[in-house]
Amino acid sequence: MIQTIIIDDEQNNIENLEGLLQQYCPQVHVLGTAINADDGIVLIKNLRPQLVFWIYKCRGKQDLKC
């Protein structure tokens, strides 16, 4: 099982990706989602996923340092 999180500033994009992953990639388990960079960083630090879908234009977070 591949553990992942999804970060996107549009909730409908998160839902669409979750649906596609469920349908076509059943080995991928979504641990959590976030709609902003700060919440996404918290999820990454706390959940330690194997894979991150970061589909978010990071205003002020281009240099990601976790």
The model's pTM = 0.83
Give the pLDDT of residue 37. 87
Count of structural domains within the chain: 1
- The answer to the question of residue 36 being in a domain is yes
Find the CATH number of the domain harbouring 19. Answer: 3.40.50.2300
- The answer to the question of residue 61 being in a domain is no
- The answer to the question of residue 23 being in a domain is yes
Give the pLDDT of residue 55. 82
pLDDT in tens, 33-44: 999 889 999 999
- The answer to the question of residue 65 being in a domain is no
Domain region containing 24: 2-55
- The answer to the question of residue 21 being in a domain is yes
What span, in angstroms and rounded, lies between the C-alpha atoms of 8 and 23? 20
- The answer to the question of residue 62 being in a domain is no
DSSP 14-57: HHHHHHHHHHH-TTEEEEEEESSHHHHHHHHHHH--SEEEEES-
Residues (pLDDT < 70) of the chain are 56-66
Give the pLDDT of residue 62. 55
Could you tell me the two tokens for 14?
């998160």
